[in-house]
Structure 1
């Protein structure tokens, strides 16, 4: 049985390990999250190749006795230099990669998750900074969809009514329920945080961006207030699921 394997991979994270080596985390099309060691000092060409956001063909040597994985080569096909030239793009891209790591690559949906991540990162590489919040919102909601944790925003989970198209619905993070405006009234009086409104335009926008490839998300925009509602709810749902904060909107 061959100990060498080849992957289609995106570099998620690289950290120093000892004086000479580095530990890298990859997102692969074939197996999801993969961790491997990059051996060699500063003169090794692989040190510059194995860097976050780089994507290409990865060769790994596995040692079953030592239970280790060694990076033997990495043919970079997508370099994405603008992600390091723009602070806004760097922060946005890093947020996406952190979400992938925190959710273990989206569970078992590796192919769909890999395609969503790499397409979103590629779009980030070419769009203007003004469009970044829309792309991040797109990524968060599509990631929630991949993980199977999208709430049903057109029906109240307390009274089971179907909400009107123009009605504001509320998501209660403490009760993890979608509430119509009527059922949300008593909740508003008892809690000060963790209640997220979504208007009709926001619900329609969410439905639309779940149908689009990342390359087309810039074409569909909403007003700033609606976009903020969608951002806040998506972030809250993701944090609730991952158990870790998503601080992107705090550092803008």
Structure 2
């Protein structure tokens, strides 16, 4: 393979795919998708719908099975490193089977730069090659951008910094001094519940027909968000949620 496009496709809505992403997709001969199991089949289905709507040239779709991952590790960084290495081996084997002049493509949820492992895994594959393929990255609409749009709000107050972090880090580290706005991604434990006086803008499966958005004071809407999250997992089989929490003014 001579070229691999890594393409951000936004939060799932085919209408949020950028013109640049559509142009990149129409250069691709073979798209690589990751099979995450039947419970998350919709993640593949969304990508398939995007290809059906936007790609006008002949292409193939190939998949590899996502390697198992330790979800409750003692050493988080080591567990992620092991998972990335297994992904790199699987991806490398698949790409090695493609013709030398092929152009590949990987569709990345949101944007490849924000809490996504694709580029790290691709770098591992390239590091093993004497003559590595070229990589071109196309940015996409991020989940925080989709969240703000869904709520019709701005992530920051005037001149205010915004911390972007994960649910795990929020639980372990709390909110640093001087930070009044936090965007949190990948939080299955609803860490916002530890901030009952803060205001939360929450959204899940943004950009899909199953999208759910809720907002309010955490103490008022926290339980409702937990119920909505559990119901969405039952209906859709997966949940990707993002939320913004803001400290009350004057606190």
Higher fraction of helix: 1
Q: Which has the higher contact order (CA 8 A, sep 6+)?
A: 2
The two structures have a TM-score, normalised by structure 2, of 0.24
Structure whose alpha-carbon radius of gyration is higher: 1
The two structures have a TM-score, normalised by structure 1, of 0.24
